[in-house]
């Protein structure tokens, strides 16, 4: 029996260059090593990854849970960050997270900068409130003074009228 070998053609006068031709997906095994030391038998899904789709999802879930735990510890006993005391508590939690290496140095620097901005805005808001209170006090004082002046003027008219009546 003779086998027939046919050459595949792409069309008349059309040739595929190696750059255009689709590259076959290299099937590499997953690099995850289990608790007993065995390697995962699945293949990687993404050529830029070393893990299969299952272990990539598992790794992402673990990272998300770690990030949520770090965020909860950062915001523990902090409040709404509208006072210097709250921002100071946040900075204390930030130092703890950084020393335990639960957050990156880059994130810690960003959080510290944001905290500095919050402290500046808190002090500016305090100054604004104080100036409003001073204005309110000035307005109240001027109202009281005008009431006293008005009463004094009424008393002066009453006494002048009273002298005429006697």
Phi, psi of 30 (to 5 degrees): -65, 140
What are the domain boundaries of the chain? 31-74, 78-161
What pLDDT was estimated at residue 37? 87
Question: Which structure tokens are listed for 135?
Answer: 């204005």
Phi, psi of 33 (to 5 degrees): -115, 125
For residues 46 and 2, the model is more confident at 46
Distance CA 34, CA 76 (A): 35
Burial of 103 (0-12, 13-18, 19+ CB in 10 A): buried
Distance CA 122, CA 115 (A): 10
For residues 132 and 98, the model is more confident at 98
Distance CA 148, CA 154 (A): 10
At residue 47 the predicted structure's pLDDT band, cuts being 50, 70 and 90, is: confident
Q: Check whether 39 has a pLDDT greater than 50.
A: yes
**HEC per residue, the chain:** CCCCCCCCCCCCCCCCCCCCCCCCCCCCECCCECCCCCECCCECCCCCCCCCHHHHHHHHHHHHHHHHHHHHHHCCCCCCCCCHHHHHHHHHHHHHHHHCCCCCHHHHHHHHHHHHHHHHHHHHHHHHHHHHHHHHHHHHHHHHHHHHHHHHHHHHHHHHHHHHHC
Q: Check whether 122 has a pLDDT greater than 60.
A: yes
For residues 165 and 60, the model is more confident at 60
């Amino acid at each position: 029996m003779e086998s027939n070998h046919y050459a595949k053609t792409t069309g008349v006068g059309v040739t595929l260059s190696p750059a255009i031709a689709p590259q076959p997906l290299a099937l590499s095994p997953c690099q995850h090593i289990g608790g007993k030391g065995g390697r995962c038998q699945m293949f990687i899904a993404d050529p830029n990854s070393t893990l299969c789709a299952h272990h990539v999802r598992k790794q992402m879930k673990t990272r998300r849970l770690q990030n949520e735990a770090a965020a909860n510890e950062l915001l523990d006993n902090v409040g709404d960050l509208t006072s210097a005391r709250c921002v100071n508590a946040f900075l204390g939690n930030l130092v703890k997270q950084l020393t335990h290496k639960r957050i990156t140095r880059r994130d810690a620097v960003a959080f510290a900068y944001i905290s500095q901005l919050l402290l500046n805005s808190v002090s500016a808001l305090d100054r604004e409130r104080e100036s409003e209170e001073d204005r309110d006090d000035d307005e109240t004082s001027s109202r009281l003074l005008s009431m006293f002046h008005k009463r004094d003027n009424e008393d002066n008219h009453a006494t002048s009228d009273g002298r005429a009546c006697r």
